[in-house]
């Protein structure tokens, strides 16, 4: 009887391990593929004032969930630049610091940096200029008792013509 109980226990542990590993691999794969879709969508002037000189840029980033489960983005730490001059960090408007991306959903993150540096304003007024963003985005996915997390380094550079 003892040996039969031991065999059943070992089989249950093996089944649990296989289910756990399969679920973990699925979560990690979907999460990693989704984070890799993070990209710049658009950059445009949202508001411009002459006195004192300032420009608000409308910057949007796009991410597509390629997963069949919910992804929670829990951290974005991304600095934005115009011609290698810092203009601010990505602070997603309406999303907060933590937000959820539903299965197979697209999400757009909007950020409006307020620029008062006259050199940067001149660069924006006389395109083309190089917009770049560097940093990290972190997210996790969870199914029952299995949680996977991933952090991706973001490095975007694009020439803006107008």
| pLDDT band of 110, cuts 50, 70, 90 | confident
Place of tokens 């083309």: 128
In this structure, what token pair is assigned to residue 95? 């999303």
- Domain count within the chain: 1
| pLDDT band of 80, cuts 50, 70, 90 | very high
Query: How far apart (Å, rounded) are the C-alpha atoms in residues 121 and 119?
Result: 5
Residue 114: which CATH number?
2.60.40.1470
Query: How far apart (Å, rounded) are the C-alpha atoms in residues 70 and 141?
Result: 6
Give the closest residue to 107 by CA, choosing from 115, 118, 116, 98. Answer: 98
Residue 92: per-residue pLDDT: 66
Give the closest residue to 94 by CA, choosing from 81, 107, 106. Answer: 107
**What is the phi/psi pair of residue 21, to 5°?**
-65, -40
Residue 149: per-residue pLDDT: 94
Residue 34, pLDDT > 80, answer yes
Residue 50, pLDDT > 90, answer no
Per-residue pLDDT of 51-68, as tens digits, reads 888 999 999 999 999 988
Residue 124: per-residue pLDDT: 92
Residue 89, pLDDT > 90, answer no
Question: What percentage of the chain carries pLDDT values higher than 70?
Answer: 96
Per-residue pLDDT of 133-160, as tens digits, reads 999 999 999 988 899 999 999 999 999 9
Residue 135 host element (H or E): strand 129-143
Give the closest residue to 55 by CA, choosing from 129, 110, 125. Answer: 125
Q: What is the mean pLDDT of residues 35-45?
A: 92
Range of the structural domain that residue 91 is part of: 2-160
What region, left, alpha or beta, does residue 104 occupy, with left being phi > 0 and alpha being psi -120 to 50 degrees?
Answer: left
Residue 97, pLDDT > 80, answer no
């Amino acid at each position: 009887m003892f040996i039969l109980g031991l065999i059943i226990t070992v089989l249950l542990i093996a089944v649990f391990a296989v289910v756990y590993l399969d679920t973990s691999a699925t979560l990690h794969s979907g999460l990693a593929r989704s984070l890799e879709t993070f990209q710049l969508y658009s950059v445009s002037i949202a508001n411009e004032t002459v006195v004192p000189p300032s420009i608000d840029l409308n910057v949007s980033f796009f991410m597509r969930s390629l997963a069949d489960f919910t992804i929670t983005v829990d951290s974005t730490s991304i600095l934005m630049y115009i011609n290698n001059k810092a203009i601010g960090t990505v602070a997603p408007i309406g999303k907060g610091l933590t937000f959820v991306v539903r299965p197979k959903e697209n999400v757009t993150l909007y950020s409006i940096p307020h620029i008062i540096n006259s050199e940067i304003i001149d660069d924006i007024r006389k395109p083309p200029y190089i917009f770049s963003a560097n940093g990290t985005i972190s997210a996790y996915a969870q199914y029952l008792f299995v949680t996977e997390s991933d952090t991706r380094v973001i490095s975007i550079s694009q020439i803006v013509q107008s």
